[in-house]
Structure 1
Amino acid sequence: MNATPATERPVSALPDLRPQLARAQQWVETLIAGVTPDQFDDPTPCEEFDVRTLIGHLYTGARRVEAMGKGRDARTVEFITDLPDGDLAAGYRSHTAASRLAWAGKDLGEPVTAPWGTVPGALAVGGYLQEALTHGWDLAVATGQPAEADADLAAAALAVAHRALPAQPRGGPVPFGPVVEARQDASPTERLVNWTGRSAADWMKRVG
């Protein structure tokens, strides 16, 4: 994600999206709870991940949010490749609870080190809202679950994506595919995943 355009704007223009991130993480938790072990090796719209490694990526994201809340460099958090035994949704919940605690009372104008660079805390939170919803959608469609997030969450994430993820260029340091033109009647979540280079229509046909 290229955060340069956002860092050039006043911090006061960046909203506090911590409540929205918490709700997005709760949605992801329900999706993880709906995954069955026989689906772990199934593909997802994010080509580098199957279902197992996508859940690991979601775990990693929650731990990186926590790290930034504690003033640490998110890039020092290693990718979780081995999922824990037991209740995966409960494991994810413990990570997201720790991340919320780390950000409670934090000044969102302070810079933090995200995987894509040093940005205001508010932008880092927004970036992980976008990631939680996008990868939540990935997990939902890959495992045959309802894939539509709350409209207000998707709209907030899309606003962040428009601000921080340019339409051009894509690829290389901006690891997203070209923007997919949204259908006229596309839902907010579909418009979000279209902006990140995913063809929602193609995947919905595949799982439908």
Structure 2
Amino acid sequence: MTDTANSPAPAVADPRPGFFAAADVLGKVLADLRADQYDLTTPCPEYSVRDLANHVVSVLRRIAVMGAGGSFMLVPHFAVDVADGEWAAAWESADADFKKVWGDPSVLGRTIGLPWGPVPGAVASVIWTNELVLHAWDIATATGQQVDWPAEALAAPLANMKRAVPAEPRGGQVPFGPVVPVPDDAPAIDRLVGWYGRRP
């Protein structure tokens, strides 16, 4: 859903603080979900809140597995083992594994086998930070949550967005809609999600 064949460059020498901050935001968004919101449609129209919650838990599990040298294929696209309303607990468990693996600075130089090709861990972390931020925004927007976006979580995705996913083409192998124009002085999160085809 947020994959791209282009590899961004880390905006800072160590992008992990932003990576960890993005995960923390998404964990809080999941923790604040209510049962009456599970069937709501998200800005990813093919995904309900339930679908996206199951997906992001799987994403974080995959990030930990791949950071430790495992294959993308070892973790399913959706966390089908997680029951409704249990996403925050599942996230907390996955987050512990994620931060243990990515807490080791050597992971930044490790080769990570993304589906479209191998990249250094530092680059993979920027790609995944972007994915976590976008999906946190998707779920928060669908459920009316107000998020206090940490600057470090947005810095690398914002710095790399135009290189990672050019304005054209969109659709097909590039799973984003057309760029939504956003003023240059708009909040950083609005500029980021607009570039990825979401309407702030």
TM-score range (shorter-chain normalised) is: 0.7 to 0.9
The answer to whether the aligner puts 1:177 opposite 2:177 as a matched pair is yes
Please list the CA deviations of residues 87-138 of structure 1 after superposition, one character each: whole Å capped at 9, or x if unmatched.
4312201102101212232342332112443212111111111011111011
Q: Is the partner of 1:38 in helix, strand or coil?
A: helix
Q: Is the partner of 2:55 in helix, strand or coil?
A: helix
8 Å Cα contact 1:137/1:148 also seen in 2: no
- Of 20-29 and 78-87, more deviation after overlay is shown by 78-87
| Residue 53 of structure 1: how far off its partner (Å) | 0.5
For 1:4 and 1:156, the matched residues in 2 are separated by 15
| Residue 62 of structure 1: how far off its partner (Å) | 0.1
The aligned runs of 1:1-208 (5 Å cut-off) are 1-4=3-6, 6=8, 15-82=13-80, 83-84=82-83, 87-105=86-104, 106-200=106-200
8 Å Cα contact 1:170/1:178 also seen in 2: yes
| Residue 55 of structure 1: how far off its partner (Å) | 0.4
Q: Is the partner of 1:112 in helix, strand or coil?
A: strand
Structure 1 consecutive aligned stretches of length 4 or more whose deviation exceeds 4 Å: none
Q: Classify 1:185/1:113 alpha carbon distance in 2 versus 1 (closer, same or farther; 3 Å).
A: same
TM-score normalised to structure 2 length: 0.88
Q: Is the partner of 2:108 in helix, strand or coil?
A: coil
The alignment's C-alpha RMSD in Å is 2.1
For 1:84 and 1:115, the matched residues in 2 are separated by 28
For 2:184 and 2:21, the matched residues in 1 are separated by 27
One-letter amino acid of the counterpart of residue 181, structure 1: P
8 Å Cα contact 1:53/1:81 also seen in 2: no
One-letter amino acid of the counterpart of residue 109, structure 2: G
> How many equivalent pairs are there?
196
8 Å Cα contact 2:18/2:155 also seen in 1: no
| Residue 81 of structure 1: how far off its partner (Å) | 4.8
**Structure 1 spans left out of the alignment, 5+ residues:** 201-208
Q: Classify 1:58/1:165 alpha carbon distance in 2 versus 1 (closer, same or farther; 3 Å).
A: same
Structure possessing the higher relative contact order (Cα contacts under 8 Å, 6 or more residues apart): 2
For 1:86 and 1:170, the matched residues in 2 are separated by 34
Please list the CA deviations of residues 149-205 of structure 1 after superposition, one character each: whole Å capped at 9, or x if unmatched.
1233223221232332222221121111111111344210111101111011xxxxx
8 Å Cα contact 2:21/2:150 also seen in 1: no
8 Å Cα contact 2:37/2:49 also seen in 1: yes
One-letter amino acid of the counterpart of residue 2, structure 1: T
8 Å Cα contact 1:127/1:161 also seen in 2: no
Q: Classify 1:196/1:101 alpha carbon distance in 2 versus 1 (closer, same or farther; 3 Å).
A: same
For 2:148 and 2:116, the matched residues in 1 are separated by 27
- The residue aligned with 1:205 is none
For 1:24 and 1:67, the matched residues in 2 are separated by 18
8 Å Cα contact 1:75/1:115 also seen in 2: no
| Residue 5 of structure 1: how far off its partner (Å) | 5.3
Q: Is the partner of 2:112 in helix, strand or coil?
A: strand
For 1:197 and 1:15, the matched residues in 2 are separated by 29
Q: Classify 1:107/1:30 alpha carbon distance in 2 versus 1 (closer, same or farther; 3 Å).
A: closer
Identical positions, percent: 40
- The residue aligned with 1:204 is none
